[in-house]
Structure 1
Amino acid sequence: MLLTAKSEPAHQVKGLEAGADDYVTKPFSLPVLDAKVQNILRSRRRLKEYYSSATEIVPENIALNTLDEEFLRKAITIVEESLSDPEFSVQKFSRNIGMSRSSLYLKLKAITGESTTDFIKRIKFKKAAELLETKAHSVTEVAYMSGFSSLSYFSTSFKQYYGVLPTEYISGKHTQS
Structure 2
Amino acid sequence: MADTELSGYLHERLSKNFQVSVFDNPELVCSSPTQRNPDVIIVDETVNGIYGSELCSEIKADTCMCNIPVILLISLCDSESYLAHIGCGADKVELRMINVCKLKADIIALINHRAAQKERLKEFAAATLPADHSEKVSQGDSDAILIDKIQKCLEKNLSSEKYTVEMLCADIGMSRTAFYNRVKFIVGKSPTNYILSYKMGIAKTMLASRQYNVSEIATLLGYCDAKYFGKKFKEFYGISPMQYVRDVMG
Tell me, in whole angstroms, the C-alpha distance in 2 between the residues paired with 1:84 and 1:65: 31
Aligned residue number for residue 248 of structure 2: 174
Question: In the aligned structure 1, how far is the partner of 2:248 from the partner of 2:175?
Answer: 37
* Kept in 2: contact 1:94–1:104 (CA 8 A): yes
Flag as ranges the 4+ runs of structure 1 deviating above 3 A: none
Q: Find the partner of 1:57 among 121, 129, 134.
A: 134
Percent of aligned pairs with the same amino acid? 28
Structure 1, unmatched stretches of 5+, are 1-53
Residues 208 and 249 of structure 2 are in contact (CA less than 8 Å); yes or no, is this contact kept in structure 1?
no
Give 1:57's aligned amino acid: S
* Residue 157 in structure 1 maps to residue 157 in structure 2: no
CA separation of 1:175 and 1:133: change in aligned 2, threshold 3 A: closer
The structure 1 residue matched to 2:178, chosen from 95, 103, 109, is 103
Aligned position for 2:218: 143
Match of 2:190 in 1: 115
Structure 2 partner of 1:8 = none
Compute the TM-score of the two structures, normalised by the length of structure 1: 0.63
Is 1:84 aligned to residue 159 of structure 2?
Answer: yes
Name the one with the larger helix percent: 1
**What amino acid is aligned across from residue 130 of structure 1 in structure 2?**
T
The gaps in structure 2 that reach 5 residues or longer are 1-130
Return the TM-score normalized by structure 2.
0.45
Residue 162 to residue 170, structure 1, CA distance change in 2 (3 Å): same
Aligned to 1:6: none
Structure with max Cα Rg: 2
What letter matches 1:150 in structure 2? D
How many positions carry a matched residue from both structures?
A: 120
Match of 1:40 in 2: none
